[in-house]
Copies of this chain bind each other. A is one copy, B any other.
Amino acid sequence: MNEKQKARLLARAEILKALAHPTRLCIVEELEKGERGVGELTDLIGDDMSTVSKHLTVLKNAGLVSDEKRGTAVIYRLRVPCVMNFMGCVEAVLTHRLNEQIALVTGS
């Protein structure tokens, strides 16, 4: 494998890593519905606001969300439209896995 390919894989992996946390997935799903302030997301998630803020930084660094200051509030929004497709595929993996487990239990 050459350096260029390594860099490409690393870039992709970083985006996946940014999404690979329940809280961050929750944020992304919520932002699909529309822009939200940090306070709203914190209420939804239930962790400390500083924790939510750090998760938002991770998503921002990955290029998945953008932020904008309005008064004292900071409003976050999704920057990419396709994250849901994405999740459709993840769901397909889960379904596939579930079907197998059922097959195991029913012994077919």
Interchain CB contact (< 8 A) of A96 among B6, B26, B79, B94: B79
Residue ID in chain B nearest A45 by CB atoms: B1
Q: Chain B residues near A6 (CB, 8 Å)?
A: 22
| Chain A interface helix/strand/loop/mixed | helix
Smallest distance from the beta carbon of A26 to chain B beta carbons, Å?
A: 6
The interface of chain A, by Cβ under 8 A from chain B, is 1, 5-6, 9-17, 19-26, 44-46, 62-64, 79-80, 82-83, 85-87, 89-94, 96-97, 100
26 contacts between A and B (CB under 8 A): A1-B44, A1-B46, A6-B22, A9-B22, A12-B90, A12-B94, A13-B20, A13-B21, A14-B20, A15-B94, A16-B16, A16-B17, A16-B19, A17-B17, A20-B20, A62-B93, A63-B94, A63-B96, A63-B100, A79-B96, A80-B89, A80-B92, A82-B93, A85-B85, A86-B86, A86-B90
